[in-house]
Structure formats: structure tokens, C-alpha cells
Structure 1
Amino acid sequence: MFRKIDRTNTFNDVLKQIIAQIQTGELKPGDALPAERILAEELGISRPALREVLKALSLLGITVSVHGGANYIATDLSSCLTGPLSIIFQMYNSKIQDAVSLRGALETKAAYLAAQNCSQLDAAELQLIIAKLDSTDDETLRSDLDRDLHFKIAQIADNPLIFSVMNASSQLTENMIVGIRSHFMQKDEDSPEIDSQHTRLVAAITANNPSLAEQIMSEHMQTIERLLKEITE
């Protein structure tokens, strides 16, 4: 399954092989890697050297280690940037507003691209999420639906880099302030503004109007930044 590698560049060579096998479908999310002894033999490296590579892959979120030493390809590779982004965030003593600003830049571009790509099926799925948001006061459900809406827009944009970094920045924000999304989605004085932005955003995307979708998403993310500033200061 694996070929012997150049020991002068162990990590990069192992990484390239694993990525290549994910791309070809030989390795799928959730698949187990061969046992350490077998994998080390196939790659032609020592088990200690292999363990260092596996630790790095785990830090990157590409693999997951479980009790007993088994290593698996992560089931959600779209989240693999969360760990590295968190490290960069800490290194530069960044503030939560920095993460939200990053997410805002990505979300506005995603909205633009989604409006270009939106199919009738995509439009129906977006409108269903909006209908569910309008019909419930449940804070937890509204939080989940808000997440679904933003991720669906990013998926329609069809740019895996935007999706992955946006997902990581969103996770980073929610890790720092637990329940932040639920807080914003409560049915209170801010809810009509956010709900209106969601509705207008979906209308622009489903009408295939990229400029308007980008404008409304920018307005929406500015609202989120304003509300975040109010609760953190």
C-alpha cells in the first residue's frame, strides 16, 4: 500500500503518500492506517520515526489516534485546520475579533460564489433552513440551523479552501466563547435584524445575484462583530 521513502525528508514523503491515497479514494475518512510495525516496514523507516510523523499528522487533524495505538484518517477532514489555526492565534496573542474578522472575509466571498453556483436544489435546501429558523424559538435548534445555513452557503461556493479555513475560524470562535452562536440566535431584540439578514441573504443567493449576496453577508458579519464587541467589552 505504501512505498519506501527518502529518509532525508520523512515527514513530507509520508504526508504526500497519505494525501495521495485520500485523493484516489484508497484511504477514506475513518479508515484505519496499517499497524505501526507494518507501516514502518512498508515505508522503510523506524517505528520511533514513524511515531513522530503520526504525532504531527494528528496535530494537523489529518489522523486521529485512539486508545491502543490505532491510527485513523479523520472523519471530518474539513476541520483539520482548527488545531494549526489555534496555535497561530495563540502565537500572535490574537483577539476573538481577529477570528471573526477572518471568518467575515471568507463568508462574504463564499456568499458571492454561492450566488454564482446556486442550483434549484441548493435554493430549496437554503429556503428550508430559513423556514425552520422562522418556525422555532428553541435556542439550541436555532443555533444548529444558523450553523447549517452558513456551512451550506460555503458548500455551494464550491471552494474547499474557503470552506476549510472558514470552518476552522468558526470553530476557533466557538471554542473561545462557548455558546456564542446560541447567544446570537436567541429570540430577543437582536433576533429580527439577524433573521432579516438571513432571509435577504438567501433571497439574493437563490436569485443568483452575487454582488447583492456579498453585500448582505458583509452587513450580516458586521452585525455579528458589533454584537460580539458588546458582550466582550
Structure 2
Amino acid sequence: MFQPVKTKKIYEMIIEQIQEMILSGALKTGDKLPSERILAEQFNASRASIREAIRSLEILGVVESRQGGGNFISDYKSANWIEPISLMFKLGGGNFDEILEMRTVIEVEAARLAAIRITEDQKQNLIHLEQRLKAATSEEELSSLDQQFHIIVAEASHNVLIETMMRAIQAILKNFIGEARQSINTWAQDSGVLLTQHLKIAESILQGKSEEAALNMKAHFVMVVKSRSKA
């Protein structure tokens, strides 16, 4: 019934301490870690253990190593943990419909919160993106702006988990976005339908109409799902 107790390796204990310092706020995004020599002294550990711990934290996306500059606590927005999630999605046989389900759950609430919490700077970013969407002339440009639009909405929700999950989803979605847009345009027989929907979502957010923003975002995903079933 019980399993033998295993002694943790030194580098694992170092990792735990650094993670605990991040969670407690003692270490923040952008903070530079002490040199390898100082860390070895402070942890009373070998440099090899320090290097192994730092390397593991890099893989997790917690620490960023800058050539000639040292090791820093990563910005979660650029953390490379997104790549392992994308890989696990592919290895697990994930498909576009599963992404749609996840996005619907997250983005409907993101739109509602964005309408309540969006800042003036974020409003200006959203207005600027609206203008770029209207002026775009190629599908490639529209696809890129489409992805940016959904990230801006996630950021405006001011919920770190929502934004973090959206960035992970977007990384996975890169292989599907072109196919999805083509499917929608063909199904709707209207190349401007996506632009219209994005503008409706944006305007409801800018006007602070939270429930309307949520409904518009939900309608957007309902259309995406319908376009796939009829494609």
C-alpha cells in the first residue's frame, strides 16, 4: 500500500525554493538571480547542482538565461512552457474541435470581463486594431490581426490565467487559423463576416456592455462551429 520514501535530489530542492520565492513575491518577473558562485554558496550546494536547477527552470519557462547577462525570472507572456503544451496537445491526438470548445469556455468570459475592466490604453490598442482590420487587404494579414484581436481581449480581462491560457491556445492554433477562416468564409458566403463579428465584439467591449460582449463572442464561436459542421 505504501511506497518507499525517496530522498529528493539537491537540484530539486533548489528548484522548490526558487519557485516558493516566486509564489511568495520575493522574486518577481525580471529579477536577476545571483551568480552561479553566489547561489552555490547560499544553497551550500555544488555548482553542478545549481546549473542543473537553472537548466530545469529554463525548460519550465520560469527562468530566462541571457547570454552574457545572467539568469532572470521570466515574463510569463514569453515563457517557453507554451511549446511543451503544444507538443502534448499534438501527441495526445488533440484536434481543432477541442480547441474550439476550450476557446468558447475561456473567451466568452474574457469578453465579458474585458468590457468591465479594459483600461484607456487598452481601449486605444483595440481601436487601433479595429482600424487595421478594416484596412487589411490580404487573408494573411487578417489572420494575424485575428489572433492579435483575441489576445487583446484576453489581456483586457485582467485575469492572468485567462491571458496565459489564451497565449497557449494561440500557439497551438497557428496550424488551424487559416483553415478555420476559409471554412467560415465559404460557409457564410461572405468574406466580411468575420470582420463584422470582430467589430461587434470590440464595440461592445469599448462601450462597457459586458453581457453584450459575452453574447457577441459566443455568437462568434457558434458560427465557427456551424461552419465546420457544414463545411
With the shorter chain as reference, the TM-score category is 0.7 to 0.9
Which residue identity is paired with 2:100?
V
Distance 2:69 2:93 in 1: 34
Q: Is the 2:200–2:216 Cα contact (8 Å) retained in structure 1?
A: yes
Distance 1:68 1:182 in 2: 42
* Corresponding residue for residue 152 of structure 1: 152
**TM-score scaled by length of structure 1:** 0.75
* Corresponding residue for residue 15 of structure 2: 11
**TM-score scaled by length of structure 2:** 0.75
Equivalences, count: 217
SS at match of 2:64: strand
Question: Which of the pair has more CA radius of gyration?
Answer: 2
Tell me how far 1:181 sits from its aligned partner: 4.9
* Corresponding residue for residue 97 of structure 1: 97
* Corresponding residue for residue 77 of structure 2: 78
* Corresponding residue for residue 51 of structure 2: 51
Taking structure 1 as reference, are residues 38 and 230 closer, same or farther at Cα in structure 2, changes over 3 Å only? farther
Per-residue deviation, residues 27-82 of structure 1 (Å, max 9, x unmatched): 51xx65333233222222222322332232112212234668953433x4224341
Structure 1: any 5+ residue segments left out of the alignment?
Answer: 1-5
Tell me how far 1:97 sits from its aligned partner: 2.7
Per-residue deviation, residues 154-187 of structure 1 (Å, max 9, x unmatched): 111111111011111111222xx17x35973898
* 1:184 maps onto 2:184 in alignment: no
Distance 1:51 1:170 in 2: 32
Q: Is the 1:114–1:205 Cα contact (8 Å) retained in structure 2?
A: yes
Q: Is the 2:15–2:57 Cα contact (8 Å) retained in structure 1?
A: no
Which residue identity is paired with 2:76?
L
* Corresponding residue for residue 6 of structure 2: none
* 1:198 maps onto 2:198 in alignment: yes
* Corresponding residue for residue 139 of structure 1: 139
Which residue identity is paired with 2:20?
K
* 1:172 maps onto 2:169 in alignment: no
Taking structure 1 as reference, are residues 52 and 221 closer, same or farther at Cα in structure 2, changes over 3 Å only? farther
Distance 1:120 1:109 in 2: 20
Taking structure 1 as reference, are residues 229 and 48 closer, same or farther at Cα in structure 2, changes over 3 Å only? farther
Tell me how far 1:193 sits from its aligned partner: 1.4
